[in-house]
Amino acid sequence: KAFANNKKLKKVTISKNITSIGKNAFAGCKKLKKITIKSTKLKSKSIGKNAFKGTAKNLVINVPKKQYKTYKKFLKKKGNKKIKIK
Give how far Cα 67 sits from Cα of 27, 40, 47, 76, Å.
23, 6, 15, 14
User: What pLDDT score does 70 carry?
Assistant: 94
> Whole-prediction pTM value?
0.91
pLDDT along the chain (86 residues), means of 10: 92 97 96 97 95 95 96 92 93
| Euclidean distance between CA atoms 66 and 45, whole angstroms | 19
- Residue 48 has a pLDDT of 95
